[in-house]
Amino acid sequence: MIRRTFVVLFAAWAVLAAGIARSAESATPNDTARFLAGLQPSEGSPLVPFAHERDWDQHANYMNSAFDKVETRQLSKIRKWSSEHLTNPRPTLFYMFGGPDFLYANAFFGNANTYVLSGLEPVGTVPDLTSLPRGSMPSILSNFRGSLGSILSVGYFITHEMRTALNSTRLSGTLPVLYVFLARSGKTIESVELINLDDKGEVHPGDGQGTKSAVHGVKIAFTDGERHKTLYYFSGDLSDDTFKRGGFAKFCDGLGVGDSLVKSASYLLHSGNFSGVRDFLLTHSSTILQDDTGIPAAQFDPARWKLSAFGRYLGPISIFADRYQPKLKEIYQKQSPNPLDFGIGYRWQADQSNLLVAVRTDLQTAQ
C-alpha cells in the first residue's frame, strides 16, 4: 500500500515538474506574436495553456473581429489599389514617421524585401509572456488592445495613446505591436535581434553596451510564404539636429534607392527643421506614396518627378489649418481624380482621403 501510494505521488510529482519545466521555457517569437494577435500558438508551445483560458478567448474574439473589419474596410482595398498604381516597386521601403505600422506598409508595399520603419516610440524589450504572472495576463492583454485602438479604427497611431497603454503593462515599446501586425499579415517570424547603430551607421548588437548616442532599433527576420524578408524599426528623433549627423541616415543611405511611404506625419516634412529627412526621401526614393502630410507638392521638381493624385484634397484638418497647399489643390483640380474607396490619413473617411504618388522620371527601372 505504501509502495503504491509512493508510485502515485511520484507520478503526480513528475507531471507537475514537467509542467513547471515547460512553463519555464521561453516561447518562440512567432508563437508570442500569434498569441498576442489572438491566433493559436503552435502545438507544444509553452503558451498553449494560456490560450486555453477564457481571458485569452475574449482577447482572440476581439482581435478576430477588429482585424476582420480593417481587412474588409481598408487592407483588401489598399492591396488592390496598390497592384494597379504602384507597378514598379523597389526591394526596400522607407517608412519615416510611421512608428510600428507594418500593417499599412505591407498592404501598400507587399513586394518589398526590406522594410525600414522609424518613430519616436521606444523599441522596448523582447516580450517573454511565459515569465509574466498568470494572474496579470487579463489586464496586460486589455491594455495592449487599447494601444491598437486608433490604428484599427482610423488607420494611424495616436502616439500618446499607444505610449500610455503600453507603459502601463509589462509589454513595453513597439515590439509587441510589430509582432501582432506581422502575425496578422500572415508572416512567420524567424528571429528577433535588438540592435544599435553607431554614428557611421554600422549595426551592433543591442545588448545595452552601446554608446548613449547610439540609435536603438530591432531587426526582425520573417518569411512571407517562401520569401525571406527583413523588418527594421528604429526609435529616434528625425529632426535635423539628429538625423543629419546620426547613424540612422547613414544606415538608410547604405540601402540605396527604395520606395517611401509617408502618412499621418503631423506635417513635419513641411518644417524647415526636417530638411535632412525630406532631402533624403527626395534623393533615395524611386516612388513616394504620401498623403498631404508628406513632402509639400511644391517641392517636387517637375523635371524629375511625375505626380499623380488620388482621392480628394479638402485641405488639412483644423489643428493643422496652416498647412494648406495651393499647389496640391491645383494638381487635384487639373487631374480631377475619383474618390478613393478606402480611407487613409487624418481625413480617414474614404470619400475625404487623399494620396499622391510621386514617381522619379530620371531613374532606371528597378532591377
> Cα(139)–Cα(160) distance, rounded to whole angstroms?
19
pLDDT at 166: 53
Write down the pTM of the prediction.
0.89
Cell 482621403 found at: 353
Residue 366 belongs to a domain = no
Give me the pLDDT at residue 364, please.
57
By residue range, what is the domain housing residue 49? 25-360
- The mean predicted confidence, pLDDT, of the chain is 87
- pLDDT number for residue 170: 67
- 239-280, pLDDT tens digit by residue? 998 897 779 999 999 999 999 999 999 999 999 999 999 999
Query: What is the structure's pLDDT at 142?
Result: 84
The pLDDT assigned to 148 comes to: 82
Looking at residue 2, its pLDDT comes to 43
Kindly report, residue by residue over 299-316, the tens digit of the pLDDT: 999 999 999 999 999 999
Residue 5, domain member (yes or no): no
Residue 153's pLDDT is what?
59
14 pLDDT band, cuts 50/70/90, is: very low
318-345 tens-digit pLDDT: 999 999 999 999 999 999 999 999 999 9
Is the pLDDT at 155 greater than 90? The verdict is: no
Residue 293's nearest CA partner among 284, 274, 302, 308 is: 274
Q: Where are the beta strands (DSSP E) in 112-153?
A: 114-119
pLDDT of 38 higher than 50 = yes
- Residue 106 vs residues 74, 103, 178, 230, 262: alpha-carbon distances, Å: 12, 6, 12, 12, 13
Q: Distance between CA atoms of 268 and 264, rounded to whole angstroms?
A: 10
State percent of the chain over pLDDT 70.
84
Residue 26 pLDDT: 84
Q: What is the pLDDT of residues 42-88, one digit of tens each?
A: 999 999 998 999 999 999 999 999 999 999 999 999 999 999 999 99
Q: What is the pLDDT of residue 157?
A: 58
User: Is pLDDT at 11 greater than 80 in this prediction?
Assistant: no
Task: Please give the average per-residue pLDDT across 222-238, as a whole number.
Answer: 94
Asked if residue 246 lies in contact with residue 118, where contact means CB atoms within 8 angstroms, the answer is no
Query: Quick check: 291 and 263 in contact, CB under 8 A?
Result: yes
Task: Evaluate whether residue 278 is within a structural domain.
Answer: yes
On whether residue 268 sits in a domain, the answer given is: yes
Residue 41 per-residue DSSP state: P
Q: Average pLDDT, stretch 201-227? A: 83
90 found inside a domain: yes
- 18, part of any domain: no
At residue 340, the pLDDT reads 96
365, part of any domain: no
Note the pLDDT of residue 140. 84
Task: Give residue 207's pLDDT.
Answer: 64
pLDDT digits (tens, 9 = 90+) for 107-121: 999 999 999 999 988
Residue 147 has pLDDT above 90, yes or no: no
| Residue 22: pLDDT band with limits 50, 70, 90 | very low
Q: What is the pLDDT of residue 127?
A: 85
Residue 92 lies in a domain: yes
Using pLDDT thresholds of 50, 70 and 90, give the confidence band for residue 156.
low
**Total structural domains within the chain:** 1
